[in-house]
Amino acid sequence: MNLLIRKFYYGDIPEEKGGGSYYQTEQDTTTWPLWEVFIRSKQGLDHKHVGSLHAADAQMAIENARDVYTRRMEGVSIWVVESKHITASNPEEAGELYEPAADKVYRHPTFYQLPDEVNYM
């Protein structure tokens, strides 16, 4: 591919002060899929999402996750799942999903007023 390169300056560098150059690029025929990484920081705690990375397969994803996300003993266990398998809720449906819980204060223990004499409850 022969591309005309318009230069865009990033950060706070104004873009109009640009030039141009040609560079021959060749695309990879395949790309490694994206994986989401979850790490258990110590025994007894949940796995927590820490980020994502690219890898050819699950085994490589775990090995890469070890290098990228646990260089300072941040984990004792790693889960990886290909990002395409994750279904996320839609932020636009937040109302329908979460508002029904908002008016049910009786689900919390503090809703109930008990006499002071009642202990351990």
Q: Could you say whether residue 2 binds other proteins (CB under 8 A)?
A: no
Site string for other proteins, 44-83 (x = CB under 8 A): -------xxxx-xx--x------xxx-xx-----------
Residues 81-120 that bind other proteins (CB under 8 A): 88, 90-92
Residues 78 and 39 sit within 8 Å (Cβ to Cβ) = yes
Q: CB of residue 84 vs other proteins: minimum separation in angstroms?
A: 13
Residues 6+ apart with CB under 8 A from 60: none
User: Angle CA(107)–CA(100)–CA(104) in degrees, nearest 5?
Assistant: 25
Asked if 41 and 59 touch (Cβ cutoff 8 Å), the reply is no
Q: Cβ of residue 47: shortest distance to other proteins, in angstroms?
A: 16
Q: Tell me which DSSP letter residue 24 carries.
A: E
Cβ 9 to other proteins, closest distance in Å? 6
Residue 81, CB-side half-sphere exposure with 13 Å CA sphere: 12
Query: Percentages helix, strand, coil for the chain, rounded to the nearest 5?
Result: 25, 25, 50
Stretch that binds other proteins, among 31-39, 40-48, 96-104, 106-114 (CB under 8 A): 31-39
Least Å from the CB of residue 43 to other proteins: 22
Residues that bind other proteins (CB under 8 A): 3, 5-15, 17, 19, 21, 23, 25-32, 34, 51-54, 56-57, 60, 67-69, 71-72, 88, 90-92
